Amino acid sequence: MQGMAFSLYERQYLGIHGLLPPAFMTAEQQACRIMTKLREQPNDLAKYIQLDSLQDRNEKLFYRVLCDNVKELMRIVYTPTVGLACQKFGFIYRNPKGLYITINDNTISKIYQILSNWPTTEVRAIVVTDGERILGLGDLGAYGMGIPIGKLALYVALGGVDPEWCLPILIDVGTNNEKLLKDPFYTGLRRKRVRGKEYDALLDNFMVACTKRFGRQVLIQHEDFGNQNAYRLLDKYKKLYNMFNDDIQGTAAVVVAGLLTTTRITKKKLREQRLLFFGAGGANTGVAEMCVRQMVEEGATVEEACGNVFMIDIDGLITKSRQGSLTARHLPFAKDMPEHKNLLEIVQAVKPHALIGASTAGGAFTTEVIKAMAELNERPIIFALSNPTANAECTAEAAIKGTDGKVLFASGSPFENVVYNGKVYKPGQGNNAYIFPGIGLAAALFRSKHITDKMFLNAAWEVAESVSHKSLYTYSRIYPRLKDLRELSIRIAIDAGNYLYHHHLATLYPEPDDKKITIDRITTTSQSFPFQEMYIRQHIYSSEYQDVVNRIYDWPPEDCKRGYPTPVLERLSMEDEE
């Protein structure tokens, strides 16, 4: 619905003339009114509720407002406010969005029937969660639906993916959160979380049903699955389906992008740096593995690259003396060093160039740890990536002041600008939104078969190269400006499209024929690849209103003339009738 933006003719044609006030508004006026009302709201949750209501009644206007004010509103529609919205989901629930598939629907036919209830078959991008690890908040069960909804809103606003192609899904297998089980407004199954073979069968049936309903090329993004399932499911499905896990691959790419940006200041390649990861969950392990891949691209061996990566889990520094208790993914990073649990002692022993936190342990990077990093490095790199803001390992202000302004800082949630010694610092937010909208746009447009790690590494380079000289050297900001995200997503989609066609992973044929020369950033050798910029720009979603009555056109005037002379017919006489 366009509300007061409907023309008089549209109001009359649709039978709503007189049901609206007689004034006529432009989309600009409507957007201004929405933003004015938003800024009057008492808190971020109230703003989230108002935007959610706007999305229900006027989708075009919702995306116009979001696109025009992305810096102000991204923190509302996604982190950190979406975390609070998920916690309050049952209380603020208004209208249904997306699909719910439960453990009680555990057959392909039942899941297919649920998917068939979605009003369109033209679904190209699915974001799905089981609600077990929502941001840094833990098991929120069915309340986790806010995450797929928010992710897909960014697919549209930042990537230009058509909202009709998007489908958020919550897989409900119960929750182990006792608080939710006793919540009178809880929207999910009131039972303990199902695991094991029954859980695996549900996920298998879900993946089969999705491709059966929407085609083999439908993109399925796994989001906020528990650590015990996220990696396992990614390894199981990534070569069978067109899927990826944003918490693992998207987070890894955006962190590597930040590290690549810092090399412009430190003048050290990634392979020349020691990286200390605080937290060894799925996110940080994925980052470590992608860092190893980048180091190998730069000429290091796998052993040399793994030797530069140090990891800390709940039991302390991962060392070879703990091999019996380590997972297969952590074994390559085990070091022949004494065991340590104290972070400050580990920093002093490892002497890292970069300290990367994804532990959800708020305040873990103490002033002593931050100062130790500054003593070890001329420009220390500190990433506090845990969400929401309360779980960040340190604040931007603490990192800047603790290093006397020398730090190259990034966070998972947004922080306000910091003024220190007369200089303005604009902290970079290592948000996955720099990565996944562009990957999703390419997958949706070119109908990819699979999503590979190399595509994410290429996207990381695109992000790093998009940081302007002024942003980096004047404001110490290591990520692009939020207002540039749409153009960045298009560049990532172009790069991903080139990769898909070059490796025969695209199924859209005939291939878009607008071609240019691109440069392989790793080998610096010139290669000719398909370049689909024109095609992408023609197919990205527009938030401009379209005429509701749009199937009317004119013929040439000479073909519409009336009154062609007709012959004079003779009248029959009465006698002839007899």
| Torsion of Cα atoms, 101 then 104 then 110 then 116, to 10° | -20
The reply to whether 223 sits in an annotated binding site is yes
DSSP calls for 456-469: HHHHHHHHHHTS-H
**DSSP secondary structure code for residue 250 in this structure:** I
545 noted as active-site residue:
no
Backbone angles phi, psi at 420, to 5 degrees: -140, 125
Q: Name the catalytic one among 47, 151, 335, 426.
A: 151
Query: In angstroms, rounded to a whole number, what is the distance separating the alpha carbons of residues 377 and 403?
Result: 10
Cis before 163 (ω within 30)? no
Do the beta carbons of residue 490 and residue 158 sit within 8 Å? no
Q: What is the largest CA-CA distance in the chain?
A: 126
Query: In angstroms, rounded to a whole number, what is the distance separating the alpha carbons of residues 345 and 441?
Result: 45
Instruction: Give residue 286's identity as a one-letter amino acid code.
Output: G
Q: Is 247 helix (H, G, I), strand (E, B) or coil?
A: helix
The reply to whether 245 sits in an annotated binding site is no
Q: Name which of 429, 428, 494, 504 is nearest 461 in CA terms.
A: 494
The reply to whether 246 sits in an annotated binding site is no
Q: Name which of 506, 577, 561 is nearest 536 in CA terms.
A: 506
Query: In angstroms, rounded to a whole number, what is the distance separating the alpha carbons of residues 29 and 9?
Result: 20
The reply to whether 133 sits in an annotated binding site is yes
The number of beta carbons lying within 10 Å of the beta carbon of residue 181 is: 16
| Torsion of Cα atoms, 349 then 352 then 357 then 359, to 10° | -30
Q: Return all residues near 575 (Cβ < 8 A) that are at least 6 apart.
A: none
Relative to beta strand 418-420, strand 423-425 is antiparallel
DSSP calls for 374-403: HHH-SS-EEEE--SSGGG-SS-HHHHHHHT
Please, what is the end-to-end C-alpha distance for the chain in angstroms? 66
37 noted as active-site residue:
no
- Order of strands, sheet of 243-245, starting from the edge strand that comes earlier in the sequence: 99-102, 166-172, 125-129, 219-222, 243-245
Q: Name the catalytic one among 48, 60, 63, 78.
A: 78
The reply to whether 52 sits in an annotated binding site is no
Give the active site residues.
78, 151
Which residues fall in the annotated binding site for (S)-malate?
Answer: 133, 387, 431
Extract the annotated binding site: 133, 223-224, 247, 387, 431
Binding residues for a divalent metal cation, as ranges, are 223-224, 247
